[in-house]
Amino acid sequence: MTLTDVMFGDPQLSRIMGGAAQLAAMLRVEAALARAEARLGLIPAHAADRIVAAAEALTPDPAEIAEAAAAAGIPAQALVKALKALCGPEAGWAHFGATSQDVQDTSLVLQLREALEVLRARLTGVSEALASKAARYSGQPIPARTRFQIAAPTTLGAKVAVWQAPLARHLVRLGELEPRLLNVSFYGAAGTGAALAPRSAELRQAIAAELGLGAPAVPWHAARDGMVELGGWLALVTGSLGKMGLDLVLLGQSEVAEVAAGRGGGSSTMPQKSNPVSAEALVTLARLNAGDLGTLHQALIHAQERDGSALGIEWQILPGMVIRAGAALRIALDLAETLQPRRDRIEATFAADRGGMLAEAAGFALARNMPRSDALEIVGAALRAVADDPRETLAGALGHLAPGQDWEKVLDPAAQTGEAVDQARRATTGGRRP
Amino acid sequence: MTLTDVMFGDPQLSRIMGGAAQLAAMLRVEAALARAEARLGLIPAHAADRIVAAAEALTPDPAEIAEAAAAAGIPAQALVKALKALCGPEAGWAHFGATSQDVQDTSLVLQLREALEVLRARLTGVSEALASKAARYSGQPIPARTRFQIAAPTTLGAKVAVWQAPLARHLVRLGELEPRLLNVSFYGAAGTGAALAPRSAELRQAIAAELGLGAPAVPWHAARDGMVELGGWLALVTGSLGKMGLDLVLLGQSEVAEVAAGRGGGSSTMPQKSNPVSAEALVTLARLNAGDLGTLHQALIHAQERDGSALGIEWQILPGMVIRAGAALRIALDLAETLQPRRDRIEATFAADRGGMLAEAAGFALARNMPRSDALEIVGAALRAVADDPRETLAGALGHLAPGQDWEKVLDPAAQTGEAVDQARRATTGGRRP
Amino acid sequence: MTLTDVMFGDPQLSRIMGGAAQLAAMLRVEAALARAEARLGLIPAHAADRIVAAAEALTPDPAEIAEAAAAAGIPAQALVKALKALCGPEAGWAHFGATSQDVQDTSLVLQLREALEVLRARLTGVSEALASKAARYSGQPIPARTRFQIAAPTTLGAKVAVWQAPLARHLVRLGELEPRLLNVSFYGAAGTGAALAPRSAELRQAIAAELGLGAPAVPWHAARDGMVELGGWLALVTGSLGKMGLDLVLLGQSEVAEVAAGRGGGSSTMPQKSNPVSAEALVTLARLNAGDLGTLHQALIHAQERDGSALGIEWQILPGMVIRAGAALRIALDLAETLQPRRDRIEATFAADRGGMLAEAAGFALARNMPRSDALEIVGAALRAVADDPRETLAGALGHLAPGQDWEKVLDPAAQTGEAVDQARRATTGGRRP
Amino acid sequence: MTLTDVMFGDPQLSRIMGGAAQLAAMLRVEAALARAEARLGLIPAHAADRIVAAAEALTPDPAEIAEAAAAAGIPAQALVKALKALCGPEAGWAHFGATSQDVQDTSLVLQLREALEVLRARLTGVSEALASKAARYSGQPIPARTRFQIAAPTTLGAKVAVWQAPLARHLVRLGELEPRLLNVSFYGAAGTGAALAPRSAELRQAIAAELGLGAPAVPWHAARDGMVELGGWLALVTGSLGKMGLDLVLLGQSEVAEVAAGRGGGSSTMPQKSNPVSAEALVTLARLNAGDLGTLHQALIHAQERDGSALGIEWQILPGMVIRAGAALRIALDLAETLQPRRDRIEATFAADRGGMLAEAAGFALARNMPRSDALEIVGAALRAVADDPRETLAGALGHLAPGQDWEKVLDPAAQTGEAVDQARRATTGGRRP
């Protein structure tokens, strides 16, 4: 545990993905297995009762199981041993026909299902908060900046809509990947269910029904695309929030300060500073999950029917990615809810720009009445006039060079935001629409 | 160009993702833009004719455009300039209301659509070839190996089915992501379509109709989840094939040699060797795409309305990932089509194992008539007898220790493959089913 | 905390890199700062006494500081606040002229120095253990395998020497990088030491002397090559051990089993298995650190004079990399110490090969008396004879095809290991030599 | 070839690392091998003459060799075959005792040596250009910015010194790693030199002398730390330049524009823009090499005596990393040489700040005459006065609140840059000093 683990962590998701929760989930799997096997007549009913009772009574110490896992190469094994020790003469019926990996994977799926419900709720919350802000500031002019240069006017609502749109798509993606992920694993040592043949497929369905999961026929012990796809989704979520974070960092710079969000961290020595701690954290979380995803994909290259070196990559990476997605969503919600324009600073930006960012608009306005090349020449001359005289504006210069239009009105930023208002409002219609 | 670029490359996909194809796609976008604008009355019909003709006539030198792109920071700009130069007095109507990024992105989408058709066809081909082999060898016993140790019998068909199942899922994933990817980009300098307001949305739909693409309302100039999701899919494809490659490398080791596939590379100095060149290449391609995906995700953290440093990551990484997916599928098809068991070696493995991998099966067979703990004790004694006497087998030892069953028959590997045959055959029902 | 954190962790290094140790190191820095400032007359001596006493008395709760760090964006700030609260009227002299980052970085360097001493000792230990085993088995023949095919004979000692040689180089590298890493950071808010000018450089030297560190003139607040270079070293260490792990996994396969090392993990359901848990863990740790290094390098792209989003990457990644290097060295030591050949299996491999791996040697032996092309033709014929008759050996076939040499003796693997013995013994001369 | 390959590429280094150069290097290795073997009497002198002549005459088509390499799994093999075809009856003496990997690796080292000379020269050039600019602008005040907020004054020279210092360290690192990298590989099929025993070590020394390389005793066929360490160095170089690029991007923002460097790219539609194309490219190159390094480290996990899947990672990644380092240095040189402050904008920043960034300095100035807590209270009051009245400055407010000092002079940014001038000038003393 380091001193930045709270900054980049999340207590709720740490708990869901943590060792104690995994043990609980493994016991739940063993109980479901026993119940299903009893129902199918594969083990005696009284054995199942005993196993279920033992699974409910057992509260193993995560630290002890972790220690044993280091020797065994897989946590499930020590848990099974502890469970059997509680089952007395029925011990032989516990974990019957299963392999450690079955329990390991199914319990992981149970943990992930719980985590995904939390992430889905938070993602919906952030998406809705952004949609609401997009609507609220749909008409608030603000400069668009491309390649770190002031470009042309847009609205704050449209900016927020660009943050929100991918989140709505991520909700759709989540719905698509879940059926590929939320599956029971029960295939036995060689992936063939041989120990319980010919009833293994039937039993797998029964366990799946107990746990509310799917039950694919082909084993996924060694085909980990479902897990890795989830990693991709988590990194898409943090990446999209990282973009929002980076934008807020840049919008909050001392020289820009057009949008405020979150509570800035103070400086130990510079009283005037307000550091964009939360927005920076979103960037960090995004870069961390991006990198981890690249490593997680290495785990697809999984040898044979089971590969401990590849599984270890998953075990060590996936929980952290889930937690980071949770942390990013938590932070993003706070930023979304506290986001507000600083109108004085926005107006100051427009004033300081003196119309430069409306050069394109001026060109199009002129081109309605003259060849486009002539229009661009006039705009060029006007921009030079603006550059030469710090008190001149583009509207003023065009008033001289191309009289006949109310240039102040034509070049009012609010009049030159095109579809921005519509883009911003669109985000509100559900907040989930792609 | 290095000497290993053929080994890890693919000429067809290199062409589709290459500079000349990109220029052609950009010109196609400019022509579609001109046609759509003329149809909507935004530019004169004769201007559109001239632009379309110029776009068809222009064959810019990719090297020159690349040189200009280095100065401009984006390739589209120099192409637009060259196009305008061909349009004479109508030059002002070319690229009307668009920004370079619009053309850059839409042309990329056109390239990707073509690439995905090739990849989809190849993926279907590999999936079907594997499904066919799975069916053919559905009953061919072969050891399952877990954690690099012989575990228990399965069948070659079931092994192949584990390679095939993710490919079928990848085809489903491709169908899901395409609508998020295959979209026109036409939003203008600030993403608001301001230059052509209030008709920009209508125009976007018209261009999209020309090109057969979607037209989302919110700009994706700076929201790159569609592109990055594609990268994830490419890495899932190469990763799944990397697993198949690694398995074939391991199955082809001198000491195993149970499955042959592809044509081995010879050694310059060791005449007896047959190197698993193709299977190794699948592993390499998988690791390269895995790593690149991690880097590509960094590009989600995209500043403001356009960020050249983030776009550059995409530009440099995505084409290579597409090509590698194509190369991996090409190599995998050859491996799938030439795959065959070497039955003598498989039989030798079973013989050398002397029943060890059937210990679990023996335990379950015994446990039908006695407490499970007693059964496991007898199996343990039998395994020790096998270990002590190099001529003893598990069946032989159990004949002494637990007479009354035909142990040779019970422990026949072919009788202990559980659902393997069914798993293998299932792959054939369409080859596309998840 | 997950259930695999012991498997891939290390308690000693977790402690050194953990939150409590970081707090202790930060307090040590604050005390050194106070002492140095008093010595230079920059703060009153009694203030320094009070600060030093407070630093010694303070035992902040890591969880509380971590919570405060999440708000402040940097852990040092809350610690400084807690320290000042203990200093009463002298509070104003605590942390005098420093910025949070100074304390953050210098304390990190102190932690890393301690960690590197542990890692250096362990690395030396593994290197020596391997050198000893290399010497011991310098003459033990064993097949070399290239591209997963049996190639030609080498010795086990030579194999071990290939694992050992990089470790010796890593010790050299460590000595080279330490002076670039083990430096004090004391540059103040803007990196200029302005608060204490013109005595800041002198003070920096004094603090450095207190702590036994270097004191570069140019601030490294934002130039993180020292930290990232360390990450590279850690990943080189785990990567080299990952190669050893992978080799042991492959040498320990059921079908090879020529080298045993470590204690295998059992299977929950297959009593005959012995899983290469430790060797697999080395591969996992190597892949994890490899991936993390790629992410850590992103932190070099550090904005301005201090960039929270880049620092966060370091904070979250570096401790884990250190711990993984420690874990890998701990595991590798156990493997090195328990490593031993299984001579029966090695002999069986040579017997089963029937001389194939000596084809190159046969060619060279023949070429001493005839044109090389003739020699290769005879070898080819001999290999075909071996392939056709399962009882034939290369020596036997050459006895017929090229009589006149004692082929059994010429093709004795032990006679065909070239420099292997010398390579293996060389490792012992210090164990540290590159 | 894509349209951004010039932007992120480098023609000189592409040539050095390209296929034709690799073929030439391999032929050079074969010639050196033949000469050394003849000198030691291992092959006939006339055979060596013939081989050397053939190596000089041969100009193989890279595309053909690349095609053959795809089948063989290694480029060297086809080249050796082509060479032998030119040697007539002496063919058997060509490549005598070597394995393909020997030639592959030694030729790579020759290419890298040439590349490193170019990179060293460029790195020295950039370092010197930056040192010169650091000296030139050593006293030019400019705000330091921490966490994207204006912090306190520094000088432009000190900023540049922070970019330069790591480059000087990279030159030292290069000198350290070269002896570990610039080595001949000549160990034969199994790494033991068996074919030429007992003279293989002697021969290795002779080849090394021919080529000016080192000759370690233990083979590095499968111990790739030298190559991977080089990758780390390349990523450190691009990473440090990426920091400079990011700083220039941020310093060049429309709202900051305090430093100009390079020639900005124009916009296709916004005539007023000047995009920081070169600075952005540095960031992109840094992120690409960072990610590639993570993947390259996976290649350390190299199976057995030779692992084609790991070698493929190196082959595909390392040349690109070299080229990117070259591109980044080329771009950075241009930026360094054209870098200049825009003094009007810097002055405007200071004016707009109205003393806020001198709050720390004011606190220290006051604390010379009063308790630090009182000083901080007065500064706080002054900052509030500044915040309340847009015409007030910190100096003005302190004039009222704490009369008796010439606050304009005390808070002159140029008077508050501490060691900045010294840090900046230090960079010039050689430009290479760490």
What's the pLDDT tens digit per position in C173-215? 999 999 999 999 999 999 999 999 899 999 999 999 999 999 9
Cβ of D24: how many Cβ atoms within 10 Å?
17
Q: What is the pLDDT of residue B264?
A: 67
What is the interface pTM, i.e. ipTM, of the complex? Answer: 0.96
Q: What is the pLDDT of residue D121?
A: 98
| Phi, psi (degrees; rounded to nearest 5) at D162 | -70, -30
Region A100-109 average pLDDT = 97
Q: What is the pLDDT of residue B371?
A: 85
Picking from D164, D192, D233 by the largest number of C CB atoms within 10 A of its own CB, the best residue to mutate is D192
Q: Which residues of A touch D245 (CB under 8 A)?
A: none
pLDDT above 90: residue A358: yes
pLDDT above 90: residue A431: no
* C213-272 tens-digit pLDDT: 999 999 999 999 999 999 999 999 999 999 999 999 999 999 999 999 987 666 555 666
* B74-110 tens-digit pLDDT: 999 999 999 999 999 999 899 999 999 999 999 999 9
**In the numeric block, which tokens belong to residue A97?**
């026909």
Burial of B311 (0-12, 13-18, 19+ CB in 10 A): buried
| Phi, psi (degrees; rounded to nearest 5) at D141 | -65, 145
Q: What is the pLDDT of residue C420?
A: 96
Closest CA to C271 of B359, A81, A91: B359
SS3 for chain C is CCCCCCCCCCHHHHHHHCHHHHHHHHHHHHHHHHHHHHHCCCCCHHHHHHHHHHHHHCCCCHHHHHHHHHHHCCHHHHHHHHHHHHCHHHHHHCCCCCCHHHHHHHHHHHHHHHHHHHHHHHHHHHHHHHHHHHHHCCCCEEEEEECCEEEEEEEHHHHHHHHHHHHHHHHHHHHHHHHHHCECCCCCCCCCCHHHCCCHHHHHHHHHHHHCCECCCCCCCCCCHHHHHHHHHHHHHHHHHHHHHHHHHHHCCCCCCCEECCCCECCCCCCCCCECHHHHHHHHHHHHHHHHHHHHHHCCCCCCCECHHHHHHHHHHHHHHHHHHHHHHHHHHHHHHHCEECHHHHHHHHHHHCCHHHHHHHHHHHHCCCCHHHHHHHHHHHHHHHHHCCCCCHHHHHHHHCCCCCHHHHCCHHHHCCCHHHHHHHCCCCCCCC
Cβ of B113: how many Cβ atoms within 10 Å?
17
Burial of D355 (0-12, 13-18, 19+ CB in 10 A): buried
Instruction: Quote the CA–CA distance of D80 and A414 in Å, as a whole number.
Output: 71
Q: Which of B93, B298, B304 sits opposite A148 (nearest CB)?
A: B304
> How does B256-266 read in b/e, with b if 16+ C-beta sit within 10 Å?
bbbbbbbebbb
D306 is catalytic: yes
pLDDT above 70: residue A270: no
* C297-352 tens-digit pLDDT: 999 999 999 999 999 999 999 999 999 999 999 999 999 999 999 999 999 999 99
Q: Does residue A198 have a cis bond before it (omega within 30 degrees)?
A: yes
- C-alpha distances (whole Å) from B243 to each of A303, A315, B147, B250, D21 are 6, 18, 14, 11, 34
| B6 contacts D23? CB cut-off 8 A | no
Region B257-274 average pLDDT = 74
Length of chain D equals 434
Q: What is the pLDDT of residue A373?
A: 83
Instruction: Quote the CA–CA distance of A182 and A113 in Å, as a whole number.
Output: 7
What sign has the CA pseudo-torsion C279, C280, C285, C286? positive
**In the numeric block, which tokens belong to residue A316?**
């060590």
**In the numeric block, which tokens belong to residue B377?**
């004790």
Q: Which of D17, D99, D246 sits opposite B268 (nearest CB)?
A: D99
Mean pLDDT of chain A: 94
Chains sharing 3 or more CB pairs under 8 A with chain D: A, B, C
Q: What is the pLDDT of residue D431?
A: 42
Closest-CA distance of chain A to residue B88, Å:
11
Are the beta carbons of A321 and A296 closer than 8 angstroms?
A: yes
Q: Which of A265, A272, A274 sits opposite D359 (nearest CB)?
A: A272
D267 is catalytic: yes
Instruction: Quote the CA–CA distance of C152 and C157 in Å, as a whole number.
Output: 15
* D152 three-state secondary structure: strand
pLDDT above 80: residue B268: no
> How does B61-95 read in b/e, with b if 16+ C-beta sit within 10 Å?
ebeebbebbbbbbbbbbbbbbbbbebbeebbbbbb
Q: Which residues of C touch A292 (CB under 8 A)?
A: 291, 295
DSSP state of D339: -
Instruction: Quote the CA–CA distance of A364 and D47 in Å, as a whole number.
Output: 77
pLDDT above 70: residue A433: no
- C-alpha distances (whole Å) from B201 to each of A233, A411, B47, B204 are 30, 21, 21, 5
C positions 265-284 inside 8 Å of A (CB): 265-270, 275-277, 280-281, 283-284
Provide CB contacts within 8 A for C146, sequence distance 6+.
B267, B270, B273, B275, D101, D189, D190, D304, D305, D306
A/C interface, count of CB pairs below 8 Å: 221
Q: Which of D149, D250, D272 sits opposite A275 (nearest CB)?
A: D149
Q: What is the pLDDT of residue A434?
A: 41
Q: Which residues of D touch A148 (CB under 8 A)?
A: 249-250, 252-254, 275-276, 280
Q: What is the pLDDT of residue D264?
A: 67
Q: What is the pLDDT of residue C431?
A: 42
Q: Choose the catalytic residue: D263, D267, D287, D372.
A: D267
B/C interface, count of CB pairs below 8 Å: 113
Q: What is the pLDDT of residue B245?
A: 98
Maximum separation of any 2 CA atoms in chain B, in Å: 100
Region C96-122 average pLDDT = 97
Stated as kind and residue range, the H or E segment containing B352 is: helix B343-353
Closest CA to A159 of A243, A279, A102: A243
Q: What is the pLDDT of residue C432?
A: 43
Q: What is the pLDDT of residue C428?
A: 66
Chains sharing 3 or more CB pairs under 8 A with chain C: A, B, D
Stated as kind and residue range, the H or E segment containing B17 is: helix B11-17
Q: What is the pLDDT of residue D15?
A: 98
Separation of CA B373 from chain center: 47
Q: Which residues of C touch D201 (CB under 8 A)?
A: 419, 422
* A52-85 tens-digit pLDDT: 999 999 999 999 999 999 999 999 999 999 999 9
Q: What is the pLDDT of residue B266?
A: 62
Are the beta carbons of D100 and D74 closer than 8 angstroms?
A: yes
Q: Which residues of chain D have pLDDT under 50?
A: 430-434
C388 CB within 8 Å of a chain B CB: no
pTM of the model: 0.97
Question: What would you report as the CA-atom Rg of chain C, rounded to the nearest whole angstrom?
Answer: 29
* B379-430 tens-digit pLDDT: 999 999 999 999 999 999 999 999 989 999 999 999 999 999 999 998 766 4
* D95 three-state secondary structure: coil
Instruction: Quote the CA–CA distance of C165 and C147 in Å, as a whole number.
Output: 21
Separation of CA B45 from chain center: 44
A positions 7-66 inside 8 Å of B (CB): none
**In the numeric block, which tokens belong to residue D118?**
């170019």
> How does C117-142 read in b/e, with b if 16+ C-beta sit within 10 Å?
ebbbebbbbbbbbbbbbbbbbbbbbb
Closest-CA distance of chain C to residue B152, Å:
8
